[in-house]
């Protein structure tokens, strides 16, 4: 029994040492891991694009030739092959040639569809990068909040000791001690909620980077971001966003549909060649012919098909314009959020946080000199905690906004 307990303790110690020895997981590394994980949501577009490339080759080939074997004018009274001069054993070959350049444009359409799938693959990778950054940053916030609330709990616990010490001298009532115990319980509840949020976000991160990487400690410092480009420059880059590239490829596919519809005004050909074998030393027969379409009545067929193809392309072009407007709206909102966050962060860093700390210290001094009550002291300490948490949240929100701007720029920042 002792050996089993010793082995278990050794395993736990080794596991803890291994986890502690793991390097910090930076946001950039998390993105790189997520993008190299072979996510099925990305692989599906890759497989679809490869399938369409194969179809592009297949669709440009001529239809398979048709071979016909037959016995014609065969006498059924004697079933003798050489009895009648018209009796033949025939073999014929038929090859259809589609209208105009239909095959060429079919191949172009499939290639455009394959390009659309590759753009959607890029879009999904960009979305995964955004999700990874956002989740990493959210986990960073809750880990930071856990540390700050734990520090505040320790501070309130120390205030509780002061209250108990003063109460023992008879200078204060038991209300201060009870208030301290209440605030400690409230902070314990906040820690439980923070643990819940940490578990949720760690599970979300594990979905993106795997369970092993998600258990590594996070980097202690928020990632720095390069100088943000001006809005006009990023707005010009919206036309190269993967979602817009996918629509551009869809427009190319619809253009090929128009070209295919136009080819239907041209005739399609079917070439025939046959050879008939006769018995009784009679000469054999050869047959050569061609069949072609005569597209005369085009008003309700070819004309309508061309019109339909044009309208479908126009519909996709409207879809592209709507997508650009939506991306521009998101970009404007992100820039507005980023500007206001910068203002608030500056205000908190230069003024609010320092004043909250000064208020706590001044209230503590006043309480120790019987110039303030304990409730005011606790309120000051908790106000300082809320200020610290607000500043941390603002910094994390700023980093998340930058991640959003990277997404709109079509960047992964691997």
Interval 359-406: pLDDT, tens: 888 887 887 777 777 778 788 888 889 999 999 999 999 999 999 999
CATH number, domain with residue 33: 1.20.1600.10
Residue 275's pLDDT band, with cuts at 50, 70 and 90, is very high
SS3 258: helix
Is 81 a member of any domain? no
Question: Would you state the structure tokens that stand for residue 363, as one six-digit string?
Answer: 């209230």
- The label of the residue with tokens 């079933």 reads 79
Strands (E), 210-333: 269-277, 285-292
Mean pLDDT over residues 289-317, rounded? Answer: 93
CA distance 127 to 35: 10
- The label of the residue with tokens 């970009």 reads 331
Domains in the chain, number: 1
Higher pLDDT, 158 or 278: 278
Residue 414's pLDDT band, with cuts at 50, 70 and 90, is low
Residue 88 clears pLDDT 50, i.e. is over it: yes
> How many beta carbons lie within 10 A of that of residue 132, not counting itself?
26
* DSSP H helix total and E strand total for the chain: 11, 4
**The domain containing residue 109 runs over which residues?**
29-62+98-264+301-408
- Among 7-16, 161-170, 273-282, 287-296, where is mean pLDDT lowest? 7-16
Q: What is the pLDDT of residues 122-137, one digit of tens each?
A: 999 999 999 999 999 9
Mean pLDDT over residues 281-303, rounded? Answer: 90
Mean pLDDT over residues 348-355, rounded? Answer: 92
Is 91 a member of any domain? no
Q: Which residues pair with 273 in a beta bridge?
A: 93, 288
- Among 88-102, 167-181, 287-301, where is mean pLDDT lowest? 167-181
pLDDT of residue 330: 94
pLDDT of residue 183: 81
Is 204 a member of any domain? yes
Q: Which of 329, 322, 330 is nearest to 403 (CA)?
A: 330
CA distance 327 to 305: 33
Is 359 a member of any domain? yes
pLDDT of residue 127: 95
Is 132 a member of any domain? yes
Question: Would you state the structure tokens that stand for residue 390, as one six-digit string?
Answer: 């607000």
Is 20 a member of any domain? no
CA distance 361 to 342: 28
pLDDT of residue 381: 85
- pTM of the shown model: 0.83
CA atoms within 13 A on the CB side of 360: 21
Residue 2 clears pLDDT 50, i.e. is over it: no
Q: What is the pLDDT of residues 328-347, one digit of tens each?
A: 999 999 999 999 999 999 99
Beta pairing class for 269-277 and 285-292: antiparallel
Question: Would you state the structure tokens that stand for residue 35, as one six-digit string?
Answer: 């993008």
Is 292 a member of any domain? no
- Among 24-38, 162-176, 245-259, where is mean pLDDT lowest? 162-176
CA distance 107 to 412: 32
Residue 290 clears pLDDT 70, i.e. is over it: yes
Q: Are 98 and 269 in contact (CB under 8 A)?
A: no
Residue 16's pLDDT band, with cuts at 50, 70 and 90, is very low
Is 194 a member of any domain? yes
Q: Which of 382, 317, 388 is nearest to 153 (CA)?
A: 382
pLDDT of residue 174: 64
């Amino acid at each position: 029994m002792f050996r089993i307990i010793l082995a278990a303790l050794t395993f736990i110690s080794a596991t803890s040492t291994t986890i502690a020895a793991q390097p910090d997981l930076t946001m950039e590394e998390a993105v790189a891991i997520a993008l190299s994980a072979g996510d099925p949501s990305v692989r599906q577009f890759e497989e679809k694009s490869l399938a369409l490339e194969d179809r592009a080759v297949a669709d440009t080939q001529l239809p398979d030739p048709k071979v016909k074997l037959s016995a014609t004018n065969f006498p059924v009274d004697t079933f003798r092959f050489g009895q009648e001069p018209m009796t033949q054993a025939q073999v014929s070959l038929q090859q259809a040639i589609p209208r105009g350049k239909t095959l060429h444009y079919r191949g172009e359409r499939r290639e455009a569809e394959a390009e659309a799938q590759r753009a959607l693959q890029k879009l999904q990778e960009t979305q995964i990068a955004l999700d990874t950054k956002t989740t990493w940053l959210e986990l960073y916030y809750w880990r930071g909040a856990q540390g700050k609330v734990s520090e505040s709990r320790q501070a309130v616990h120390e205030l509780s000791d002061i209250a108990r010490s003063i109460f023992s001298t008879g200078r204060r009532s038991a209300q201060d001690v009870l208030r301290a115990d209440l605030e400690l319980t409230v902070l314990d509840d906040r820690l439980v909620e923070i643990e819940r949020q940490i578990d949720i976000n760690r599970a979300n991160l594990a979905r993106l980077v795997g369970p092993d990487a998600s258990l590594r400690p996070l980097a202690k410092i928020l990632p720095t971001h390069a100088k943000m480009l001006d809005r006009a420059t990023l707005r010009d880059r919206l036309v190269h966003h993967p979602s817009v590239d996918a629509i551009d490829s869809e427009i190319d596919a619809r253009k090929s549909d128009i070209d295919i519809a136009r080819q239907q005004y041209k005739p399609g050909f079917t070439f025939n060649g046959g050879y008939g074998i006769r018995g009784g030393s009679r000469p054999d027969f050869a047959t050569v012919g061609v069949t072609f379409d005569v597209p005369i009545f085009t008003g309700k067929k070819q004309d309508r098909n061309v019109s339909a193809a044009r309208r479908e392309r126009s519909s996709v072009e409207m879809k592209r314009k709507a997508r650009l407007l939506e991306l521009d709206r998101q970009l404007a909102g992100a820039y507005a959020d980023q500007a206001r966050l910068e203002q608030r962060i500056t205000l908190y860093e230069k003024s609010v946080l320092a004043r909250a700390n000064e208020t706590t210290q001044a209230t503590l001094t006043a309480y120790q000199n019987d110039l303030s009550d304990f409730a005011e002291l606790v309120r000051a300490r908790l106000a300082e905690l809320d200020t610290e948490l607000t500043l941390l949240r603002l910094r994390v929100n700023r980093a998340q906004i930058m991640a959003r701007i990277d997404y709109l720029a079509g960047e992964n920042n691997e």
